[in-house]
Structure 1
Amino acid sequence: MLMNALESAAVNSTARRALQRFFELSWLIRLGGRLDGGRALEIGCGSGYGTQLIIERMGAASVDAVDPDPRMVDRARRRLRRHANVVRIVHGDALDLGGALGAEGGSYDAAFDFAVLHHIEDWRAALDEVARTLRPGGRFYFVEVTSAALARPTYDRLFDHPEHDRFAAGQLLAELSRHGLDVGPRWRTFIGSDYVLGVARRAGPSASGPE
């Protein structure tokens, strides 16, 4: 489900970008380490600010990113022109990364979800696709909005989200495990249980970064 105009403005605000850069990224690095090279995937890149952080702060060598909104794809491409040699932005669906990106199994060293999964009606299938494209030992960095937050009046009245099969933090963690993505202790909730972030590893030889 695409963001409405109000949520798009909120996501692209200075305050949201500061939160992403200084709080979320700091926690993700603390829990899962930087990439320092390697190939990364981002689902739902929006205007490309998260993609920029994956290159500049996480140290990815390259990033493939998808978004279902062609307007956001255009904005991301403009933002990331100086990184055009290492970033590929395409219009596509997180449910079909093979079709959108030609992503084969085990294609990526890391995948990123900056609060996108809760917009996807079949979010379990999206996790399956992420797990498929990660190499053994690859990391899935996620920041998500839970059903507790989505039930609050602010979210419910102002923003558009799928009405059914929303996930609590525990449900998301359990689903990650079911798809072979081990979170272990590498996760945290914030503002009660409204938000959850963490780093899961695909089963296999360990990638570099903190255990």
Structure 2
Amino acid sequence: MTAPRTPVEPTLREILGGRHGAVDATLPAGAFVVGWLVAQALGSTSAVAVGGAAAVVVAGVVATYRLARGHRPRSVLLGLLPVAVAVAVAVATGRAVDFFLVQIVSNAGSALAFAVSIVIRWPLLGVVVGLVLGRKTRWRRDPDLLRAYGRASWVWVGQYLVRLVVFLPLYAADQVVALGIARVALTWPLVAACVALSWVVVKRSLPADHPGLLHPVAPGTPVRPNDHGES
């Protein structure tokens, strides 16, 4: 009789996904910069509003496409919200560079949140992965997983800090086009690198005999042979 097949351990890339969200986030930003540049070239006195309208239109097209592809309405709406807020801020101040202020604040807040979560031993990477995998907070009872998620969460802190190091000087210098380029360059490519590196950190932080993310091991709990995929 053949033993039941043990589920294959998923990677962080498979667990977190994020490619569509990261790519979609760059399209409205690119549309804002292009719309703003075209309006300025035509001598418009409402270049920021034109750029904002372009960003909203592109965000709406992306949202419609995602809904048609079966994405959850809630996640689609959450993707629209940052664009709407960014446009509102830029239009309110009349400064095109302020379109990027929301993301700058968001990255600063995310870096702080991840760092604090590590210090209080609730690393956010573990919280997210635990929820996605349906393990909730059981990983916290596993000292090895707790340590691995804590170490890997520092990679995410680094991701947000990299963006801040690039974005803040450009924002201070009022470099709208450069910010748009940086937004594209530091979205999906940086997210992909962060996910890959944090996965390496997680795997290297776990003992060789650990059954993996799907099988948190509480202290004193014996590891079953099947947890390693053995028959």
Q: TM-score, normalised by structure 2?
A: 0.26
Q: TM-score, normalised by structure 1?
A: 0.28
Mark the structure with the bigger radius of gyration. 2
Structure ranking higher in strand proportion: 1
